Structure 1
Amino acid sequence: MLKSALDSFDQSIIDILLIDSRTSLRAIGAEIGLTAPAVRDRILRMEDTGIIEGFSVRLNARALGFMLEAILNVEPLPGRLKEVEQILRDTPEVLECSVVTGNDCFVARFVLKDVGDLDRILEPLHNVARTKTSIVHRKPIPSRRPPF
């Protein structure tokens, strides 16, 4: 399914599900003017074509005791790329990680209970990579969907 195949109903369904993926088919249909079976069929079609990859829960890291979020830029030392990737995979505080172009190979987002956790999280990387850490102060643009 191409972007152009998303009509206004599909776009509305996606927007509603992004706010609350537990919204009932009936409630979605009532809001956008379709029957629950029509909404179900559209969701299934968007799943089948890969537009909708799944449904998930959004967690509040602060409510779980993680008071800080940080961005970590990682430049592996020569020959240490796979080792660095494994360290990042094995660090449960790393919420996501991207391989990027430029000087750094990885950009990871992770959470900390307090700033004292930083040394413990970075220590396994000290001999295999150069790192640069930035503490997230605020998010003027939260995670959002791509434009339709």
Structure 2
Amino acid sequence: MCNRMENGLDMLDRQILKALLQDARVSWKELAEEAGVSAPTVRDRVRRLQDLGVVQGFTVELAPTALGYTLEAVVRFRPLPGKRHILEQEIQLTERIVQCDKVTGEDGFVARILLKTIEELDPLLERFSRMATTHTSVVKSSPVRMRPPPF
């Protein structure tokens, strides 16, 4: 009996994905033992999931606070007329912007910015003043961080 889900993943795929989300550095052997299959089977499944685009990479997650970034802000950028393209380029070049979405509505972009101190915020935003108006909120906490989609 084929145990495929509606999204094309079967129970073994789901089990492998859950284990990789917990620790992407887990060995093939450990992953195989947890899934109850052979290491070559696990390796082939992971490669198939990569080929399908389900698994797009294996990354390292850095802790901003360990690097001295004690604050995070959410900034909504409303591009000035004719400045959307220039604004998008400047956002892409700004290392402190760690996430940005192009959105519908009056605001063109919503970004997350890392800060070491609150005093860094105004100078950072000043570089965008010729391209956009901004609305900023300081993040108090993040009850839901970016998480993987349900599968």
Asked if TM exceeds 0.5, the reply is: yes
- Shift of the 3–46 alpha-carbon distance from structure 1 to 2, 3 Å rule, reads farther
Aligned position for 1:131:
134
Residue 93 in 1 paired to residue 88 in 2?
no
Alignment match of 1:83 (pick from 60, 81, 86):
86
Q: Take 1:144 and 1:15, find their aligned partners in 2: how far apart are those partners?
A: 12
2:24 is aligned to: 21
Structure 2: how far apart are the matches of 1:97 and 1:138?
A: 18
Q: Structure 1 stretches (4+) deviating beyond 2 angstroms?
A: none
How many percent of aligned residue pairs carry the same amino acid?
42
Letter in 1 for 2:130: N
What is the TM-score when the length of structure 1 is the normalising length? 0.94
Distance 1:138 1:3 in 2: 35
> Pairwise CA RMSD of aligned residues?
1.3
Q: Which residue of 1 aligns with 2:114?
A: 111
Equivalent-residue separation in structure 1 for 2:35 and 2:138 (angstroms): 41
Scaled by the length of structure 2, what TM-score is found? Answer: 0.93
Q: List alignment gaps of at least 5 residues for structure 1.
A: none
Matched, 1:143 2:142: no
Provide the C-alpha distance between the structure 2 equivalents of 1:3 and 1:19, rounded to a whole number of angstroms.
24
Whole-angstrom CA distance in 2 between matches of 1:9 and 1:112: 41
Separation of aligned partners in 2, 1:57 and 1:3: 30
- Residue number in structure 1 paired with 2:62: 59
Q: Of the candidates 113, 120, 129, which is equivalent to residue 123 of structure 2?
A: 120
Residues matched between the structures, number: 147
Structure 2: unaligned runs, 5 residues or longer: none
- In structure 2, C-alpha distance between the alignment counterparts of 1:135 and 1:128, rounded to whole Å: 21
Corresponding residue of 2:47: 44
